[in-house]
């Protein structure tokens, strides 16, 4: 995993003053709005804010190489598949969309030319795609859909099927925050038979049954894989955001 260079070209809005924000906007800084759940189950082995941790790790790395301003993470969103698991929260899709667009419009109102939505979710993608298609100046980067991420995932991952709290996500968290990963509780749950819709925690007759909330094989996770995956995703994200920042 590439170490960040010394110093930063960008900044987190929460860490600086409003005159500093204004000055950075005048230099042409692009805005980054991370979107990642802070209360969403990730099996018995990963913290509930796994998506948020990934989004903030990537956003922070961007500040070292690009002229960006990173706004605080939107950590509640549209995550309906996980509501049966205690602690998980999901907003209605229209409320989530309205929240994001209102934040983005206020950021643009301060003179920012471009706002990049840095999204670590899957169920959030359709709403965010619709939003960005209708709003100039707002773009979307889905962290798992870049070319480098797909290539590295195809080469590294050993699980037959995956999708949530699996080999990929667990490997990434082992690289980001190893002390928060409970590998002794990691499980394998083959999601080959699953259909679109919410996961089921207790109905063993349902194709989406997953008592752990895992889809895939988290036991195959390794920090080495996580570092390679994060490097690939960071390359994808950096290339997308670099087109917006000056």
Position 245 scores a pLDDT of: 75
The distance of Cα 207 from the centroid of its chain, to the nearest Å, equals 26
Q: What does pTM read for this prediction?
A: 0.94
The distance of Cα 186 from the centroid of its chain, to the nearest Å, equals 21
Separation in Å, CA 138 to CA 122, 194, 228, 234: 19, 33, 29, 20
User: 11-242 architecture in CATH?
Assistant: 3-Layer(aba) Sandwich (3.40)
Separation in Å, CA 19 to CA 16, 25, 111, 152, 214: 8, 10, 13, 41, 45
Can you give the pLDDT of all 246 residues of the chain as single tens digits?
556 667 899 999 999 999 999 999 999 999 999 999 999 999 999 999 999 999 999 999 999 999 999 999 999 999 999 999 999 999 999 999 999 999 999 999 999 999 999 999 999 999 999 999 989 999 999 999 999 999 999 999 999 988 999 999 999 999 999 999 999 999 999 877 888 899 999 999 999 999 999 999 999 999 999 999 999 999 999 999 998 876
Q: First vs last Cα of the chain: how many Å apart?
A: 25
CB 246 within 8 A of CB 28: yes
- Residue spans of the domains in the chain: they are 11-242
């Amino acid at each position: 995993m590439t170490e960040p260079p010394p110093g930063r070209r960008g900044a987190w809005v929460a860490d600086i003053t409003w005159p500093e924000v204004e000055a950075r906007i005048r230099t042409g800084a692009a805005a980054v709005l991370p979107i990642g759940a802070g209360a969403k189950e990730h099996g018995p082995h990963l913290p509930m804010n796994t998506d948020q941790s990934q989004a903030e790790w990537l956003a922070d790395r961007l500040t070292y190489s690009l002229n960006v301003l990173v706004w605080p993470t939107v950590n509640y969103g549209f995550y309906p598949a996980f509501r049966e698991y205690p602690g998980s929260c999901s907003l209605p899709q229209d409320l989530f969309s309205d929240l994001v667009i209102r934040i983005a419009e206020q950021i643009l109102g301060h003179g920012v030319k471009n706002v990049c939505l840095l999204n670590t979710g899957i169920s959030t993608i359709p709403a965010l795609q619709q939003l960005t298609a209708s709003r100039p100046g707002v773009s979307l980067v889905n962290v798992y859909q870049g070319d480098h991420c797909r290539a590295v995932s195809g080469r590294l991952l050993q699980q037959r099927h995956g999708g949530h709290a699996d080999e990929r996500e667990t490997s990434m968290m082992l690289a980001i925050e190893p002390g928060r990963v409970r590998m002794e509780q990691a499980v394998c749950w083959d999601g080959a038979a699953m259909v679109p819709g919410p996961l089921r925690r207790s109905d063993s007759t349902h194709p989406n049954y997953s008592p752990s909330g895992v889809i895939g094989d988290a036991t195959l996770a390794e920090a080495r894989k996580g570092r390679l995956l994060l490097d690939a995703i960071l390359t994808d994200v950096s290339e997308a955001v670099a087109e917006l920042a000056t």
